[in-house]
Structure 1
Amino acid sequence: MKKLDKLILGSFLGPFLLTFIVVDFILLTVNMLKYFDEIFGKGLSFWIYLELIGYFVISISPMALPLAVLLSSLMTFGNLGEHFELTAIKSSGISLLRALRPIGVFVIVLSFTAYLSNNYLVPKVNLKTFSLLYDIRMKSPALDIKAGVFYAGIPGYSIKVNEKVGEFGLKDILIYTHAQGEQRNLELTLADSGRMEPFFNENYMKLSLYQGKTYKETRPSRGIAEKPSEFRRVTFDTNEIVFDLNNTFKLNRTAEEAWSTNRSIKNISQIIVGLDSIGTLVNDQRFQNYRDAESVYTFFTRDRKLTPSSDIAERKTLDDSIKREKTRRLKMQDSLEQVKKDLHVRDSSVLTENPEATKLASPSDSILALNKSIDTSTEVSTSDTLVDSARSIPDSQRKSTELGSNQKVNLDTNSIKVVQKKTSNFRTTPLTDKERSQIDSLAQSRGYYKNSVSMALNNSRSLKNGFGIKKGQIDTYEREYRRYQIAWYQKYTQAFACFAMFLIGAPLGAIIKKGGLGMPVLVSIIFFIVYYMLTITGEKWAKEGIADPLFGTWFSNLCLIPFGLFFVRQARKDARLFEPDFYVGIWNYVQKRLKDIRLKGN
């Protein structure tokens, strides 16, 4: 590596690390504010919050990297241009593209690293983030009873204290008890004073009440003639209530397998499997539409079939073959496990009966022997069944017909003659006009036409409703299919955005020639907002099916690449895009051209 590359790369790495930390902190703050009310104030330890913050930092890093690259590259080349170092580099015969090469190579490596992180690290971190965040949300708030306010954090109780004395003392206590989830206030406890103390490592809480009364009323029955509901009143000097806080105020961790269907925790290979599964569901719904229509209109489909299109039929055949293969493998696995169990039991019995038998057959020989015995027993039972069925037919009505090499089936020839005789009595001549008129009059007099029309109308309505339901299901599946595609393509687009931002920031800094945190920060924020808006717009188009998911996810990068190429071209020509003289010169040139056109016209 040459000294020039070390100079440019060294001046880039410092601002890059600084801006990445700042941007990551800003995005972390925005994310934490979303869940502020749900995760704070629940008495969790510092390490739980530190774990959650660490997960958030890694999960938002794909969004922070493009902005960090844009800002740091703009600051780097802005500083080089402000201190005339870029001018010295160009005057020595080194082009701008050669000066961009060290940072460009670093950004390419960074983009590839970002892709690996998006595909392997971020999905695992998202899984742990969702699990921990859900557990924190489900945890009850910390036990904090305030004076004059009802506290319902303990399940089954609603407690109000008018005054707190010291750390554990309470005065003027009111407690509503909701037994078994009952929301009606049927049990009330009043006490002049009390004391609430935790014990057994704060897993339990003891509430001691002094000088009070308990009022309890049973739930009234619905019957009018029933006896009045029972009412009790108990006066006490001391009453102790123990609350179990182990399951209420402890953080219970949910199994991570519960989030296995979320697309944010899947890598590319898992997303492809999910796409195939959703495609199977969509194809099944479309295939069932043909079957439902055929089952409703049995008269019209008696001589013809409603055949699905070739792509639907081929996909259905493939899916059915895969299902059969999976079922076959599961059955084979179950049978092998059963064989192993049987062999284990048999070997155990052999060892028990004959301890001296130390030389046993191998497991493969045992399995072959067991399979041979199963095949032999099946063959014997099948032949015995055929023989018994043949013997049940009288000798006078038997006719030998070979079914295999050693099996015979007896057929009843008299029954065949009877069937042929009956079919020969069918009428083959067409109906006369008189017979047709009689049948039509009979159908009209008995309301057959009206009933058939009503039946056809009901069938049509049921078929339409069924199609509507299946269409809604197909739309839901297709929308989820598009979401999976977006999650797939985002792993590439977020990594490529680092290179796109470098292509904008580096030449733009060479044009602006201003370093620091003034103009570079303003320009970076503007371009990042444009990038974010374009990304949201493209993803929305893809989710709604307006645009292809591939185009929707790449939409922001496709829009920013022309800006980057334009800025590179202007930076190579030392254009003064951000100087007033540049635009004054353009305005004077336009005025001159308009004046020349007018003179030619006159």
Structure 2
Amino acid sequence: MLRIKKLDIFILKSFLMLFIGTFFICLFIFMMQFLWRYVDELVGKGLEMSVLAQFFFYSALTLIPLSLPLAILLAALMTFGNFGERYELLSMKAAGIPLLRIIRPLVFFCLFLSCISFYFQNVVAPKAQMKLWTLLVSMKQTSPELDIPEGVFYDEIEGYNIYVKQKDRKTGMLKDILIYNFSDGFENAHIIWASEGKMEMTADKQHLYLHLYNGEQFENLKSQSISSNNVPYRRETFREKHTIIEFDGGFNMVDGSFLSDRSDSKNMVEISHSIDSLTFRGDSIGRSLYSEIKSSAYRDIDLTKKDSVKMIESHMTIINADSLFSSYTLSEKDKTLGNAAERAESLASEWNMKSYPTTDVDNNIRKHKADWHKKITLSLSCMIFFFIGAPLGAIIRKGGLGMPVVISVLIFVIYYIIDSGATRVAKSGEMDMVLGVWMSTLVLAPLGAFFTYKSNNDSVVFNAEVYINFFRMLLGLRPSRHVFKKEVIIEDPDYPNILARLDDLCNECQIYDTEHKLSGAPNYYRIFTNSGHDDKIARISEKMEHLIEELSNSKDGTLLNFMNKYPILSTKAHKSPFDNRWLNLPAGLIFPIGVFFYFRIWRFRLRLDKDLKNIIKTSREIQDRIKNESFII
């Protein structure tokens, strides 16, 4: 019992050391990706370090639930990959400890991490999202840091356009300054030119203080009451001039109460209440629109005086629209159709505009429902990724940061594509919300169960040789025979006996080829009613393999080369598609599949005919070699 406890501690310690490192790496990557989206809001604003620290802190809190699944997947892959690479996992299994018992402490730990992820999403993340979005809106409204470039007009100050020809970085002096002041309107512009000057911010960062030297000022004096084409102006020459421009360069936190309606800034209880409120609001809008449509007058038919007279004369109570339209003249029909089309377009446009409130409400409801389910699916993904990573690492048996990183990124990208794509479709209303949000879980959960089952049973999943052999069998390909000279030979072959056995092998091949007529077309019925192997071919193959095994003790290299010409026979490829008769019958009854298998088996029969002739020819060559080289004493 004590040994198992020490094993649990060892496994937990190995996993924790990797998990902590991978978690902070994943969190850093997601933060850099998040920062890249909003880099334009941060650069050039002159924001203080405290503001940037708040931004990174709140973004880290919101990204923790997203970083946990990837960190668990990568840590599990690396941990069990290291165990497999160092044969520690093999030692545990050799001691009688199954994989499910080995991963049991980590299952409980990942379950704890899933609870932590849910707590962050339901409690911490909504508050952090509220703070983060308030901070982002405040950053967007913050004026950019004053940095007037050379040779271009700078228009970041509202109401002003400033041009600086040259800047002295050491002294801060500006050369050839041109300032356009449009704060009083375009027609009352103030233009200031100075040969040099200097700009600085006031202590409260609310104003820009300008020191200008050796310049001129132009000012239009046109007012709204003056209608003359001649506009008076004032010109002033100065040696030194000081002016103040309003420029709010500080950071001011806005009131974030308007962000309280966002679904990502609410916990599950608040989201449920919001869904109820939005549903009630949507129903109210729908009922009011229905009442308006029902009571609207657009369904009433406007009749001309001529039509009214006809109705009165005929005492009609039901209007036959076709008969009424047929009685019109050509010009009246054209006018009526034009009015109807215009009326239909007007109504379509009107009700399309009136449908916007209900559409917005429906979109908001779907967004709230998606975020409600997302808190559960993202927490559950921690467990799913563990049950993918741990058995996968045990199967691959590769540790370090090479193969595990590639596989982890690939699996996470697949998860992210499925999750984001299906959720987007569900939010648009084209898919059921539960199915769309849970799509990634429904796809990856069976994958995790499959890997866990295969790894627990020590099944071969990523052995390339297994898949190569499968496709070789499917395509009818065979490996070549390779017989090499042995370095140590204990006993030489019995050549007289081998000569007799080679004769026997050649006779059997000749008899089989004559009886079965392999070069001809096979019988379609026999192909799909056969369920066994060819015992005669199996016996020929067995005799040939025994002869090759005995002749491989020869010291003669030419004999070894002859033996490499022997084919590797298949005992059933030329008989039927499957071993089970009840699988062969349906395959033969389905016409396209049956024809495919028929020609495939015909090809194998031709190959077997060629192989038998090759066996006879090679056997005769070996016999001639043995006789000519006097191996028989």
Asked if Structure 1 and Structure 2 have the same fold, meaning a TM-score greater than 0.5 normalized by the shorter chain, the answer is yes
Match of 1:329 in 2: none
Equivalent in 209, 214, 233 of residue 212 of structure 2: 209
Match of 2:251 in 1: 251
Distance 1:504 1:599 in 2: 42
Distance 2:92 2:353 in 1: 69
* Greater alpha carbon shift after TM alignment, 155-164 vs 64-73: 155-164
2:55 is the counterpart of 1:79: no
Distance 2:88 2:186 in 1: 76
1:521-536 → structure 2 map (5 Å cutoff):
521-536=405-420
Deviation at 1:59, TM superposition (A): 1.2
Match of 2:195 in 1: 192
Deviation at 1:260, TM superposition (A): 1.1
Distance 1:2 1:292 in 2: 73
Match of 1:437 in 2: 313
Could you tell me whether the CA contact under 8 Å between 1:197 and 1:205 is conserved in 2?
A: yes
- Cα offsets for 1:50-79 (capped at 9, x unmatched): 221111111112211111110101111111
Deviation at 1:469, TM superposition (A): 2.8
Could you tell me whether the CA contact under 8 Å between 1:70 and 1:505 is conserved in 2?
A: yes
Deviation at 1:522, TM superposition (A): 1.1
Distance 1:188 1:457 in 2: 58
Distance 1:177 1:463 in 2: 50
Match of 1:420 in 2: none
What SS does the corresponding residue of 2:23 show, helix, strand or coil? helix
Deviation at 1:134, TM superposition (A): 1.6
Could you tell me whether the CA contact under 8 Å between 2:178 and 2:194 is conserved in 1?
A: yes
Aligned-residue Cα RMSD (Å) equals 3.3
2:134 is the counterpart of 1:131: yes
2:23 is the counterpart of 1:47: no
Match of 1:545 in 2: 429
Larger radius of gyration: 2
- Cα offsets for 1:494-542 (capped at 9, x unmatched): 1111111011000001101111111111111111111111111111220
- Cα offsets for 1:349-407 (capped at 9, x unmatched): xxxxxxxxxxxxxxxxxxxxxxxxxxxxxxxxxxxxxxxxxxxxxxxxxxxxxxxxxxx
Match of 2:165 in 1: 162
Distance 1:145 1:522 in 2: 46
2:59 is the counterpart of 1:175: no
Match of 1:509 in 2: 393
What SS does the corresponding residue of 1:42 show, helix, strand or coil? coil
2:34 is the counterpart of 1:31: yes
Change (3 A) 1:16 1:436: closer
Residue identity opposite 1:177 in structure 2:
N
What SS does the corresponding residue of 1:44 show, helix, strand or coil? coil
What SS does the corresponding residue of 2:238 show, helix, strand or coil? strand
* Greater alpha carbon shift after TM alignment, 270-279 vs 71-80: 270-279
More RCO (CA 8 Å, sep 6+): 1
Deviation at 1:271, TM superposition (A): 1.3
Distance 1:551 1:483 in 2: 14
Change (3 A) 1:589 1:170: closer
2:462 is the counterpart of 1:578: yes
* Greater alpha carbon shift after TM alignment, 286-295 vs 103-112: 286-295
**TM-score for both structures, normalised by structure 2:** 0.66
Could you tell me whether the CA contact under 8 Å between 2:19 and 2:71 is conserved in 1?
A: yes
What SS does the corresponding residue of 2:177 show, helix, strand or coil? strand
Match of 2:240 in 1: 238
Match of 1:470 in 2: 354
Could you tell me whether the CA contact under 8 Å between 2:264 and 2:371 is conserved in 1?
A: yes
Distance 1:468 1:179 in 2: 42
Residue identity opposite 1:286 in structure 2:
G
* Greater alpha carbon shift after TM alignment, 42-51 vs 93-102: 42-51
Could you tell me whether the CA contact under 8 Å between 1:159 and 1:175 is conserved in 2?
A: yes
Residue identity opposite 2:279 in structure 1:
G
Q: Which runs of 5 or more residues in structure 2 are unaligned?
A: 302-308, 317-323, 325-331, 479-532, 534-569, 577-600, 606-633
Q: Equivalent pairs: percent with the same residue?
A: 32
Could you tell me whether the CA contact under 8 Å between 1:220 and 1:228 is conserved in 2?
A: no
Match of 1:500 in 2: 384
Match of 1:59 in 2: 62
Match of 2:441 in 1: 557
Residue identity opposite 1:598 in structure 2:
H
What SS does the corresponding residue of 1:162 show, helix, strand or coil? strand
Distance 2:299 2:177 in 1: 78
**TM-score for both structures, normalised by structure 1:** 0.70
Distance 2:311 2:131 in 1: 80
Distance 1:93 1:510 in 2: 16
Deviation at 1:465, TM superposition (A): 4.4
- Cα offsets for 1:126-168 (capped at 9, x unmatched): 1111111121122112122333332333332222222334434
Could you tell me whether the CA contact under 8 Å between 1:296 and 1:463 is conserved in 2?
A: no
Match of 1:107 in 2: 110
Change (3 A) 1:219 1:550: farther
Distance 1:457 1:518 in 2: 67
Could you tell me whether the CA contact under 8 Å between 2:199 and 2:208 is conserved in 1?
A: yes
Residue identity opposite 2:233 in structure 1:
F
Change (3 A) 1:438 1:108: closer
Change (3 A) 1:184 1:70: farther
1:244-323 → structure 2 map (5 Å cutoff):
244-245=246-247, 248-297=248-297
What SS does the corresponding residue of 1:209 show, helix, strand or coil? strand
Deviation at 1:582, TM superposition (A): 2.7
Change (3 A) 1:65 1:299: closer
Deviation at 1:560, TM superposition (A): 0.6
- Cα offsets for 1:171-213 (capped at 9, x unmatched): 3221111124x35682211122223344446554421222221
Distance 1:10 1:299 in 2: 77
Could you tell me whether the CA contact under 8 Å between 1:285 and 1:470 is conserved in 2?
A: no
Match of 2:572 in 1: 596
Match of 2:230 in 1: 228
Residue identity opposite 2:432 in structure 1:
D
